[in-house]
Chains A and B, each alone.
Chain A
Amino acid sequence: MQQKPNPFIPYMSTIKSVADLTSDVKLFNVELDDPTVSDGFNYHPGQFAFLSAYGIGEAPFCLTSAAHRKAGIEFAIRAVGTVTNALHELEEGAKVGIRGPFGNSFPMEDYKGKDIIIIGGGIGMAPLHPVINTIVDHRADYGNLLIINGARSPQDLVFADEFDVWAKASKANVELTVDRGDDDWKGRVALIPDVVVDLNPSPKNTMAIICGPPIMIHFTLIKLKDLGFANDQIVTTLENKMKCGLGKCGRCNIGDKYICVDGPVFTFEQISHFIEQF
């Protein structure tokens, strides 16, 4: 009988490339060393994994790559704490560890045939990135795609080099906005909730997927409700302190749920039933 693997031990992995996305966000492309593990590592948009900087620690990050593209496992990581700063010190060829994939995923099958609005603020674009690329790569399966992407400044827009790809061939309507422009910025200078109001999307047969700072989600939600979106038409991915990813350490417990096991993807219908509102 094969022994169960210890779920705390990460898979040995190697950094294939590191790219600067903004002044404090880097894109890590990581490969699992063991080909058997690599072949079996199936993940879906919305899921996350723990990345270990050996000797420093481990932290959860959303998987920002779309698995079907088979172009490596990618994480967009902002340097905010001990582990993320340690990861930012690593270069191509460095050994790291991956534990995962964990959590639930966006039900892309259920979104087929619908119009999709993606609303991402800052690093909140990271979990939405594979959703966009799944839709873009299977364009005929989905209706209209509206992407609203906001950031503090033009330099903080995370996947800036993909905007043209998304916008081309009517793949998507990409609306960008910043809190603060600069001399070269010719686009919107507005908060995301106000952009939503300005664009006035119809809720008919539409799903809105939001991710970003809690305050942005809070106000965007209000605007979407004003426009007639029902709670089960609005989806988000929750971010809480997580340590084990297995539903055991208790940190991400909210009500009878563990965000690492029952989430992180939740509709606002589900969130409205949480006894504790974060």
Chain B
Amino acid sequence: MMDKNIVKQIRDKAKELLSNGTIKCVLGYETGTDGMNARPAFIYEPEDVDRLIFDNTCTHNLSTYLRDKRENPVAIVVKPCDARAINVLLGERQIEREKVFIIGIVCQEVVQVSWGELSHDAQMRCKICNQHTPVIYDFLIGGPVDESAPKAEPPANVTAMEGKSSGDKVDFWSGQFSKCVRCYACRAVCMGCYCTVCFVDMLDPEWVGIKIATPENQMWNTIRAFHLSGRCIGCGECARVCPVNIPLDLLNMKMEKEVGEHFEFVSGLSSEEPAPLASFLKDESLGIGE
């Protein structure tokens, strides 16, 4: 379902920026081969801007591509959640602000995306979203949104998992991780996973190893969740891309809930505030021996 006005504004802005040479590439969305769901689009020429679309199937977090394209100035189409990802990347000095022209979209919602199927069910992140306007942008498309509705509750599936017994949780996650085939799509799609050599690929020393088996899969997925704590912006792409339907976003949502409670911190609201678990402040109290 496309809002023609939003699409026209994106195309016009893209054409303007490409034509005047401000940027080399527009990272946006186009319709995929099933004719229903969007896919990432990289537009290099002004005459190609009509490929760009925007609708509620634009699930991809395009900020994950910014590091690869950081040599040249680019423009990027972002939803509010994606915009927080840009703040995380800026805060971690992975991209330069001057080289990214942010086209922010006031987003209504994104639906479940599965090739060949058109869904009408909103994604979990949209059900709990209270930030429909991007926190960072150079050009905003879409009107102001009334955010006065009460703050969203934690996701129902996180609360349900918290309510399970330890034994049930262990059983649940062993079952899920027994399915993992270590395709690393979760890592590949995540804007926060950009290490040149990921811990799981290190063979000397070997932290996890190449064996595709439940204990190793468990190590892989839980350590990744820890490495993202305080940095994850909850786009849920990791769970969407998993070919064996492991609800990975549950782990990340839980970690963000914990970080929120312990540090009163929400990732990506600003590019200045360092992530609590990824930073060390000299004058911070450790709360030991005091």
Are A and B genuine complex partners? yes
Q: Does chain A have a CB within 8 A of B197?
A: no
Closest-by-CB residue of B relative to A57 is B203
Please report the C-alpha to C-alpha distance between residue A81 and residue B204 in the assembled complex, in whole angstroms. 9
Number of interface residues, chain A, beta carbon within 8 A = 2
Contacting residues, chain B, for A81 (C-beta < 8 A): 204
CA distance A81 to B206 in the complex (A): 13
Contacting residues, chain A, for B204 (C-beta < 8 A): 81-82
Distance, CA A81 to CA B203, complexed state (A): 10
Nearest CB in chain A to that of B203: its residue: A82
The residues of B that contact A82 with a CB separation of less than 8 Å are: 203-204
Q: In the complex, which residue of chain B has the Cβ closest to the Cβ of A81?
A: B204
B206 to chain A, nearest CB (A): 9
Interface residues of A in 74-95 (CB under 8 A from B): 81-82
Report A196 CB to chain B, min CB distance, Å: 38
Closest to B206 in A: A82
User: What is the CB-to-nearest-CB distance from A55 to chain B, in angstroms, rounded to a whole number?
Assistant: 13
Q: How many A-B Cβ pairs are below 8 Å?
A: 3
A82 to B203 CA separation, bound complex (whole angstroms): 9
What residue of chain B has the Cβ atom nearest to residue A82's Cβ?
Answer: B204
CB distance from B21 to the nearest CB of A (A): 34
Q: Tell me how far the C-beta of B219 lies from the nearest C-beta in chain A, rounded to whole angstroms.
A: 20
Instruction: Kindly provide the distance from the CB of B237 to the nearest chain A CB, expressed in whole angstroms.
Output: 29
**Closest A-chain residue to B204, C-beta based?**
A82
A174 vs chain B, min Cβ distance (A): 38
User: For chain B residues 183-242, which have a beta carbon within 8 Å of chain A?
Assistant: 203-204
The answer for the CA separation of A84 and B203 in the assembled complex, in Å, is: 14
A46 nearest CB across to chain B (Å): 29
Whole-angstrom distance between the alpha carbons of A82 and B204 in the complex?
7
Which of chain A's residues have a CB closer than 8 A to the CB of B203?
82
How many whole Å from A87's CB to the nearest CB in chain B?
A: 15
Closest to A85 in B: B204
How far, in angstroms, from A233 to B8 measured CA to CA in the complex? 63
Within 52-82 of A, Cβ neighbours of B (below 8 Å) are at: 81-82
Min CB–CB distance B203 → chain A (angstroms): 7
A26 to chain B, nearest CB (A): 20
Q: Mark B155-189, 1 if CB is under 8 A from A, else 0.
A: 00000000000000000000000000000000000
Closest Cβ of chain B: how far from A220's Cβ, in Å?
33
> Smallest distance from the beta carbon of A80 to chain B beta carbons, Å?
12
A136 to B25, CA, bound (A): 62
- What CA separation (Å) do A147 and B91 show in the bound complex? 58
User: How far is the CB of A84 from the nearest CB of chain B, in Å?
Assistant: 12
Least distance between A177 CB and chain B CB atoms (Å): 34
- Which residues between 22 and 64 of chain B lie within 8 Å of chain A, taking CB atoms? none
A82 to B206, CA, bound (A): 11
A269 → B minimal CB distance (Å):
37
Q: How far is the CB of B16 from chain A (nearest CB, A)?
A: 40
Closest Cβ–Cβ distance, residue A82 to chain B (whole Å) = 5
With A and B bound together, what is the CA distance between A150 and B203 in angstroms? 33
In the complex, A242 Cα to B51 Cα: how many Å? 43
Q: Offer 3 A-B interface pairs, CB within 8 angstroms, sorted by A.
A: A81-B204, A82-B203, A82-B204
Q: Taking beta carbons and an 8 Å cutoff, which residues of A are in contact with B?
A: 81-82
Closest 3 CB pairs of A and B: A82-B204, A82-B203, A81-B204
